[in-house]
Chain A
Amino acid sequence: MAIKTILIIEDDRFIGEMYVRSIKKAGYDIDWMVDGNDGLIAARNKVYDLILLDVMLPERRGTDILDALRGGKEDLIPHTKVLVLTNFEQDDESRMAMEKRADGYLIKAEITPSKLLSVIAQLDQPTA
């Protein structure tokens, strides 16, 4: 299943616009949500191929969103991959918990948009 539709939940305008711009340019469909509540609603209402999830978000943290989507008995987004993108230094436990439920965990300061695109392309590979 090739990745086509992407949801990004990111509250920083500069960073959000930056990713949206290059992801769009690379030919994906991307929706951008700024706060955690809207992000969760969007993720529940539409089946995305990939969600790019920030951790420090207004209204609802990225950890809570991931919990809501994948923390229960049933995986609510079985057809969606999740990539956590954060600059926040989480403590080990919560980082491990997120890594377990997500398909990738990246520090934003360490990647550039083109690096992100190559990671997305990689995510496409293994299961395809």
Chain B
Amino acid sequence: MAVNTPQRFARDFWPYFNRIVASVIVLTQLITTIIIAGSLYMLGYAEENLPVFAGILIAQAVLGIIGSLIIARVLARPIHDLLAAIIHVSGEPTTTTPPNPNDSRFAKSGFKDVLQTIYELASDDKQPTQPVVTAPEPGTIVESNLPAHATPTTMLEAALDETVCGFVVMDHDRKITFSNKAAPINIDQNGVAMLSLIFNGQETLDVWLDDCDKNAVHAEHTWQRIGNKLPEEEGRRIFDVMASYDKGAASEVVLTLIDRTGLYSVGEQDLDFIAFAAHELRGPITVIRGYLDVLEDELKDVLKDDQHELFRRLTVSANRLSGYINNILNTSRYDRRHLRVHLVETSVTDVYDVIRDDMDLRASAQHRLLAVTIPGDLPNIAGDPASLSEVFGNLIDNAIKYSNEGGAINVSAEQKGDTVEIAIEDHGIGMPSSVIGNLFQKFYRSHRSRETVAGTGIGLYISKAIVESHGGTIAVRSEEGRGSTFIVSLPTYQSVADKLKAGDNSNEGLIEQNSGWIKNHSMYRG
């Protein structure tokens, strides 16, 4: 053992041990034989028949050596097995198979327990936090011929706990059957593990799973930027969530969560910056709009007709700028789950009145024929007038942008069951169906329009967000070269009044979630 070699393995011990034992046996047997031979020779036994004397001595030596070797081997066998088990546990490269505790000879001798103890100790060591979970494993593995510590389950679980990715497995009843350490899990009062993720808008995991239950056998879906807490809470993490669904499987739903907090929290700071910048832009806009208003009034007797037109163009542009800034602000709020809709009983006419003058001015300054027909007997809606007027403003602004001079733009409204539908129709350039799918995405601008029409690409994105925050929907029909119609559908006040009143009679923070309305007390969307 004292030999200094660069690298020593535990497996090298066995041959060394064998050599030592063999040498000791041979040496002691030879010495014993020599001593016996010497003593007998001195007593004179050798003289009578030397060949027989020598033969007996040699036979005694050989038999002694063989016998001792057999005894040594029997004695060393448990040591050999222990050593093999330890070598295996230590993870050294080895060609020998580890002793199997379920071997019948171990079961008979009781050595099985010794081996199991070694394997259990070893697996406990690798998972110090979960000794209770892994302990039953060796017992269940007895039937198979695998060594207990190397069960795929425990190894995999240990490995999954080491990763930064979250893994969650759910059964058919959507009960969480497995989750690793990195997964965002909360335990509720009843001790049930719950996924703590705040999904964006209406595309939640539950909605998707409901859909899968009905329509799918295998399905996959990815959500981006899903936080586990609200933006201001501490320890917030933001994930990309990948779900796979396999109908009828024991692990029907498998979620993989990639922690993107580092990446996305930078984005959140950017949004704060946007909110700040938008605020700074408002000051000059106030002044521009205000002085235009003052000047136009004070100069109205001096200005010539075409100069009036120039003033109107200035006013329209300033108003549009102000609208875009609101879009940016609202988008930044929405992306941080801060968009507040303040639902009150109102009418489409009242909402439109907020922007009527501005829209008339915009349409006439850009030579579009804007016709608004809102029936007087339309039921009231539950809406946030300021936000909704921004939606209508965006849609009319688009209708103006994507149509030609002299084109007609029709705004109409009608009741459809429990909803009121407002349609904004233009006869402009329209769009192919390939574009429509992406239309409501943030920063999406169709390839063609990017070159010819100015815009930020967030108008429709935020309009959809606002409408959906009302529990409504937004849809589009379009034909290339013939024009587009955007249809906003909003619940009537009557249909949601009870739910609104249930929220302490207050008109705030009532957000539709999935199938029902719930009171969103903290005024955050999520």
Residues of A within 8 A of B (CB): 12, 14-15, 18-19, 21-22, 87-89, 92, 96, 107-110, 112-115
Closest B residue to A115 by beta carbon equals B293
Q: Are A112 and B293 in contact (CB under 8 A)?
A: yes
Whether A113 pairs with B338 at a CB distance below 8 angstroms is no
Q: Is the CB of A15 within 8 A of B279?
A: no
Determine if B185 is an interface residue (Cβ-Cβ < 8 Å).
Answer: no
B285 within 8 A of A: yes
Q: Known: A15-B286, A88-B279. Contact between A109 and B340, CB under 8 A?
A: no
A18 contacts which chain B residues (CB < 8 A)?
287, 290-291, 294
| Bound Cα distance A89, B289 (Å) | 19
> Known contacts A89-B329, A92-B340, A92-B523: does B283 contact A12 (CB below 8 Å)?
yes
Instruction: List 4 extra interface pairs beyond A87-B286, A114-B297, CB under 8 A.
Output: A15-B287, A18-B287, A109-B285, A109-B286
> What's the nearest-Cβ distance from chain A to residue B80, in Å?
74
| Proximity bits, B289-307, A CB within 8 Å = 1, else 0 | 1111110010000000000
Given A15-B290, A92-B523, A112-B293: A87 in contact with B283 (beta carbons within 8 A): yes
Q: Name 17 interchain pairs, CB-CB below 8 A, sorted by A.
A: A15-B287, A18-B287, A18-B294, A21-B294, A22-B293, A22-B297, A88-B279, A89-B278, A89-B329, A108-B282, A109-B285, A109-B286, A109-B289, A109-B322, A110-B322, A112-B292, A114-B293
Shortest CB-to-CB span from B280 to chain A, Å, is 9
Pairs A-B, 10 closest by C-beta atoms: A112-B293, A87-B282, A109-B282, A108-B286, A18-B290, A14-B287, A109-B285, A109-B286, A109-B322, A112-B289
CB within 8 Å of A: which B467-523 residues:
508, 523
Q: B325: which A residues are within 8 A, CB to CB?
A: 109
Which applies to chain A's interface (DSSP): helix, strand, loop or mixed?
Answer: helix
CA distance A9 to B416 in the complex (A): 48
Contact check, A113 vs B286: say whether CB atoms are below 8 A apart.
no
Among the interface residues A22, A89, A110, which one has the most CB atoms of the partner chain B within 10 A? A110
Query: Is B275 interfacial (CB-CB < 8 Å)?
Result: yes
- With a cutoff of 8 Å between Cβ atoms, the chain A residues found around residue B340 in the complex are 92
| Bound Cα distance A30, B318 (Å) | 27
Given the complex of chains A and B, what is the CA–CA distance between A92 and B522 in angstroms?
10
**Cα distance, A89 to B278, chains bound together (Å):** 9
How far, in whole Å, are A87 and B286 apart by their CA atoms in the complex? 8
Nearest A-chain residue to B322, judged by Cβ? A109
Distance between A74 CB and nearest chain B CB, rounded to angstroms: 26
User: Taking the nearest CB of chain A, how far is it from the CB of B522, in angstroms?
Assistant: 9
Closest to B340 in A: A92
- A109 — which chain B residues lie within 8 A by C-beta? 282-283, 285-286, 289, 322, 325
B305 to nearest A CB, angstroms?
Answer: 21
* Nearest-neighbor residue (CB-CB) of A56 within chain B: B279
A89 touching B294 by the CB < 8 A rule?
Answer: no
Complex contact B322–A15 (CB within 8 A):
no
A14 to B286, CA, bound (A): 9
Q: Which residue of B lies closest to A21 (CB)?
A: B294
- B285 nearest CB neighbor, chain A only: A109
Q: Considering the complex, which residues of chain B in the window 254-287 have a beta carbon less than 8 Å from any beta carbon of chain A?
A: 275, 278-279, 282-283, 285-287
Q: Mark B417-437, 1 if CB is under 8 A from A, else 0.
A: 000000000000000000000
Closest CB in chain A relative to B488 CB, distance in Å: 21
Partner of A112, one of B278, B279, B290: B290
